[in-house]
């Protein structure tokens, strides 16, 4: 299946998969009674950690009886995931949040939320958290959930001010780690009970189905390598790839046949940093031993074929790449930033170093290469850590509990306050208010035994691209 995306400025396009043939069917009625979650994310231009987490959320929530849709402001049409996106995907091209096109886009999102009876809006990244969250609230959506996935490294003064002023906008803020949670409470002046930690989860079943293939090393140009030390990160200054190069230079002196690999996209805005890395690799004498490989849709074969995972970020929220490496049984050397210490206990299931400490990172890598038994021991404990605390199933279970708790509170509030009916007939409610029929919380809001989304027949196996309002 191939989708041809013709993007025109200020034009909204909808990429959707028809779940049901006839609007009047029993299946359609059942689908309408399910909680409908609209995820709003700034862009889908690559499969980074957040994008992969979102896709996993959608797949598992759909299997649990939730209806899911995604709205975004920018996409990369060549992404293969768009060929079989797991739910309706709505594109609303947006360059600024303060011009006429922004007002038109806000109206389109408003109509989408109301016409599709969206129950929960869940946002990711600054534009979606701030501007998208405000649009969701104005539309009368019963529940707004906002995500925080980093330590605010890209925020400028206007972002910090906006987050502070809109601290009461979301019903719940989900932080990716306790460190990020504490940052939000401190910087955004959020009430502690309003911010919960929701750890990323790893798909252990997919990892178990991936064999450790020597062909993976060959594909990296490391077939004859004595050892393979790998990191998974986009080429950005904050990811500390230059520190990894300096550590690799030290390790190379003792293990001259070792190969170091970086799996991740080269970002246009970081082009100067990319060129700096190439010069650094050349000057370190690592041209044949340090590989910048670009992105990979499935990193698990490479991780399973590696000996050590090393990520020396200058800042993190909680990198999913670390959890995936741990789940693959790799001993990990990472910096003591963000949520990393919440997964890695130094010397027990991996090693922690301070940012910029290339020498310390090299010492730990050398210890693991010199002592294969130590590497195996730390890798086994790392996998057990993920199995106990960071599975995809656990993440989804915790997320559903958050959603249902918020919906239950909203239902109780509506019943007591009588401003939002818990079940209404057509014509009831006051249009334009939280008591409107479109945004009422129905009595059948919570999951029932209705057929799941993936059981619904499809009219057409192809995705449709329809220019219009996005509603």
From CA 344, how far away is CA 303, in angstroms rounded? 17
Are both 12-201+392-468 and 204-389 of the same fold?
Answer: yes
Q: What is the pTM of this model?
A: 0.78
The helix/strand/coil state of 324 is helix
Q: Which of 202, 199, 277, 285 is nearest to 235 (CA)?
A: 277
Question: In the CATH hierarchy, which fold is given to the domain comprising 204-389?
Answer: Rossmann fold (3.40.50)
The 3-state secondary structure of 134-195 reads HHHHHCCCCEEEEEECCCCCCCCHHHHHHHHHCCCCCCEEEECCHHHHHHHHHHCCCCHHHE
Residue 22, phi then psi, degrees to nearest 5: -115, 125
Just give the CATH number of 12-201+392-468. 3.40.50.2000
The 3-state secondary structure of 33-97 reads HCCEEEEEECCECCCCHHHHHHHHHHHHHHHCCCEEEEEECCECCCCHHHHHCCCCEEECCCCCC
157-165 helix and 178-187 helix, angle to the nearest 10 degrees:
80
pLDDT tens, residue order, the chain (471 aa): 333 343 333 344 444 433 332 333 333 444 456 799 999 999 998 777 888 889 999 999 999 999 999 999 999 888 888 888 999 999 999 988 888 999 999 999 999 999 999 999 999 998 999 999 999 999 999 999 999 988 887 777 777 787 777 778 899 999 999 999 999 999 888 999 999 999 999 999 888 887 766 666 666 766 678 999 999 999 999 999 999 999 999 999 999 999 999 999 887 778 899 999 999 999 999 999 999 988 887 889 899 999 999 999 999 999 999 999 999 999 999 999 999 999 999 999 999 999 999 999 999 999 999 999 999 999 999 999 999 999 999 999 999 999 999 999 988 776 555 444 333 333 333 333 333 333 444 434 444 333 233 333 333 332 233 223 333
Which sequence spans correspond to the domains of the chain?
A: 12-201+392-468, 204-389
């Amino acid at each position: 299946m191939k989708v041809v995306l013709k993007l025109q400025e200020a034009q909204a396009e909808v990429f959707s998969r028809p779940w049901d043939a006839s609007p009047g069917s029993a299946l359609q009625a059942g689908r309408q009674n399910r909680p409908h979650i609209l995820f709003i994310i700034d862009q889908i231009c690559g499969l980074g950690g957040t994008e992969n987490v979102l896709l996993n959320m959608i797949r598992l929530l759909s299997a649990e009886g939730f209806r899911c849709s995604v709205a975004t402001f920018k996409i990369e049409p060549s992404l293969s995931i768009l060929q079989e996106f797991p739910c309706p995907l709505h594109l609303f091209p947006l360059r600024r949040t303060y011009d006429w096109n922004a007002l038109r886009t806000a109206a389109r999102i408003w109509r989408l939320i109301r016409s599709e009876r969206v129950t929960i809006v869940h946002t990711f990244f600054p534009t979606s958290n701030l501007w998208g969250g405000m649009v969701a609230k104005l539309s009368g959506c019963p529940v707004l959930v906002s995500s925080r996935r980093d330590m605010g490294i890209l925020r400028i003064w206007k972002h910090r001010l906006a987050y502070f002023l809109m601290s009461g906008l979301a019903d719940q803020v989900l932080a990716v780690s306790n460190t990020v949670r504490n940052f939000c409470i401190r910087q955004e002046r959020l009430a502690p009970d309003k911010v919960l930690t929701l750890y990323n989860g790893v798909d252990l079943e997919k990892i178990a189905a991936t064999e450790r293939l020597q062909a993976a090393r060959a594909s990296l140009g490391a077939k004859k390598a004595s050892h393979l030390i790998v990191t998974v990160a986009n080429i950005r200054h904050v990811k500390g790839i230059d520190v990894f190069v300096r550590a690799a230079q030290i390790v190379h002196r003792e293990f001259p046949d070792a190969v170091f690999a970086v799996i991740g996209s080269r970002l246009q805005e970081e082009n100067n940093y990319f060129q700096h890395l190439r010069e650094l690799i050349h000057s370190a004498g690592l041209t044949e031993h340090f590989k910048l490989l670009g992105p990979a849709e499935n990193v698990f074969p490479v991780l399973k074929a590696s000996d050590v995972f090393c990520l020396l970020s200058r800042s993190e929220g909680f990198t999913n790449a670390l959890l995936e490496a741990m789940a693959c049984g790799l001993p990990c050397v990472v910096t003591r930033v963000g949520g990393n210490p919440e997964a890695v206990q130094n010397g027990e299931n991996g090693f922690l170093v301070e940012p910029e400490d290339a020498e310390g990172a090299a010492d730990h890598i050398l210890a693991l290469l010199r002592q294969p038994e130590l590497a195996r021991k730390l890798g086994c404990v790392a996998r057990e850590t993920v199995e106990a605390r960071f599975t995809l199933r656990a993440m989804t279970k915790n997320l559903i509990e958050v959603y249902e708790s918020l919906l239950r509170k909203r239902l109780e509030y509506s019943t007591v306050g009588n401003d939002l009916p818990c079940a209404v007939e057509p014509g009831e409610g006051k249009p334009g208010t939280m008591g409107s029929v479109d945004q009422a919380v129905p009595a059948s809001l919570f999951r029932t035994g209705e057929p799941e989304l993936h059981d619904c027949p499809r009219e057409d196996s192809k995705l449709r691209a329809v220019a219009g309002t996005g509603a």
